[in-house]
Amino acid sequence: MLAALAAAGGATSLAAPVVRAAPTQGPVRAPTSSADVSAARRDSARDEWLLVRREGEPGLTVLDLSAPGSPRVAGSLALPDAVPDAALLARNASELFVATRDGEVLRYGLARRELLARARVASRIAAIALASDGRHLAVAAQDPPALLVLDAKLGVLRTLAGEDKERKRSVGVLAVRNSPARRSFVASLPGLPELWEVSYDPAALDIPAGMIHDFQFREGAFVRGYLNARRTPLDAALRWLALDPLGHEAIGGSPAGTGIEVVHLDVRRRIAGLALDAGPRARRPVFWGPPERRSMALVDIAGGGVAIVDATLWKFARKALAGTPVRWLASHRETRWIWVSVGAGCEPAQGCAQGELQLLDKGDPGGSAIARDRLAPRIRRGVVQVAFDRPGQHAYAAVSGARGGVAVVSADATRELAFLPLAEAVELVVLPD
């Protein structure tokens, strides 16, 4: 799922409204002794949680997958009705952050499935992203137009107005992504030809904010690098946003919807363009390979199939499954396989019950695949989404239909370890960051 240096300027900080985290509803149970704290930390490190949205049921079902061969339903989280998609969810190993589109942010503990804090920070929210340190949460607000950074208790640390450098145009923030490699958030604004990078590293270098006479002796105007925006000027605003995991590039959809723009986050300018119609499904591209031979796979909506891109030179390399409608791709950095759902194109949440599963080999994605008859029988059709455990050894496949549920399988999809029945269609909450 990131801007020319002398021209980059910090975003104006609005006077942040007085926002306090509201008390939770009911008592918050927390460890009270050092032994309890140590036990809680051990449990958090060991637990593997999976969040599932079930058709016709409010909130989320929480699955405990700490023992892959024995998955179990740990409980449920009753979420506000106005939480329709994963862009409004963020989590770490033990907590879930939820934003409602009408401007409220909530923090839940997963182990006890309890509300820990809540705060209203805007009137309308488009997306959120949690920092790798777990101490900063970015909120893309459309009304009022701003990018907010909250602390883990949901207090507002910074409010950056959604304005251009001259403060003549004001637009809402469309998307925000976390870049672990850079310790920063990257945001796109739909009506503003800019890309923002906001560092949550307190030691981040200062940002030039005007005419600079001498960088070495700091002659000129600077603002602090921590929680201020470095701006990348673009030819046009991006329609969607994704990041290279190595932390150097951001990719996004061109305004006309006919291609992909590649922006280098260190030199802060556009470095390449690709004539691919990837659409919103490219928000989760698959990257693999060493930096000198980096590859990327993404859905090609217009031409069908999977587009394989040389992500070092940023050139189209080849096509896999040419002419085949592809719904989604999924993979893990530690597995050699790319999971591909093929069939009539639609989004996972739209009930794509009859999609067929295929697996491509990252070593030869244009030709090598696992034969379909070698895949675990239950997941050959009807998989609507997939997630992976932290090491990338197991996959959790959401199987739709009246006999649906979550199948725990090997990362190459050939061996089923367990199956947890869940009534009706299910959707895994696969988070953007």
Amino acid 220: pLDDT: 54
| CA dist., res. 163 & res. 205, Å (int) | 22
Of 372 and 13, the structure prediction assigns the larger pLDDT to 372
Task: Answer for the pair 294, 246: CB distance below 8 angstroms, yes or no.
Answer: yes
Mean pLDDT value of segment 374-381: 93
> In the Cβ-directed half-sphere of 117, how many Cα atoms lie within 13 Å?
15
| CA dist., res. 329 & res. 132, Å (int) | 24
The CA-atom distances, in angstroms, between 431 and each of 198, 209, 328, 375 are 20, 34, 14, 26
What's the chain's average pLDDT? 81
Helix, strand, coil percentages in the chain from 3-state DSSP, rounded to 5 = 10, 45, 50
Task: Answer for the pair 368, 337: CB distance below 8 angstroms, yes or no.
Answer: no
The CA-atom distances, in angstroms, between 324 and each of 28, 309, 358 are 51, 18, 11
Whether this model's pTM surpasses 0.75? yes
Amino acid 377: pLDDT: 94
Amino acid 431: pLDDT: 66
Residue 200 has pLDDT above 90, yes or no: yes
Of the listed ranges 123-127, 216-220, 417-421, the least confidently predicted one is 216-220
Highest mean pLDDT among 79-83, 137-141, 284-288: 137-141
Tokens of 262: 């590649």
| CA dist., res. 199 & res. 227, Å (int) | 5
Burial of 324 (0-12, 13-18, 19+ CB in 10 A): middle
**Per residue in 55-110, pLDDT tens?**
777 788 899 988 888 999 999 888 876 565 677 888 888 899 999 888 999 999 99
Residue 351 has pLDDT above 70, yes or no: no
